[in-house]
């Protein structure tokens, strides 16, 4: 299953770590690029976790709940 992380209609993206909507114009956790795609994060911890294991988060096998 492929998850759509960016929606151009609403200008929000889904944080691949916590699965929360983030403002693409000013994401609180910043952004990271993986395989040419840009991902947006709700907090810096999510960005750091994603950078350590991006494939697990993108596959949906791993997530962080708060």
Place of tokens 């929000």: 12
pLDDT digit string, tens, across residues 6-62: 555 558 999 999 998 998 988 999 999 999 999 999 999 999 999 999 999 999 888
Rounded-to-5 percentages of helix, strand, coil across the chain: 25, 25, 55
pLDDT tens for each residue of 50-65: 999 999 999 988 888 7
Cα dihedral sign for 25, 29, 30, 34? negative
Q: Are 29 and 44 in contact (CB under 8 A)?
A: yes
pTM of the complete model: 0.78
Distance, in Å, from the CA atom of 5 to the CA atom of 46, rounded to the nearest integer, reads 15
Parallel, antiparallel, or unpaired for β 31-34 and 37-40?
A: antiparallel
pLDDT at 2: 52
């Amino acid at each position: 299953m492929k998850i759509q992380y960016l929606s151009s209609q609403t200008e929000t993206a889904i944080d691949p770590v916590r699965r929360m909507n983030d403002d693409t114009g000013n994401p609180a956790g910043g952004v990271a690029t993986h395989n040419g795609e840009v991902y947006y994060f709700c907090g810096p911890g999510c960005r750091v976790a994603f950078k350590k294991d991006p494939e697990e988060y993108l596959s949906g096998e791993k997530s962080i709940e708060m």
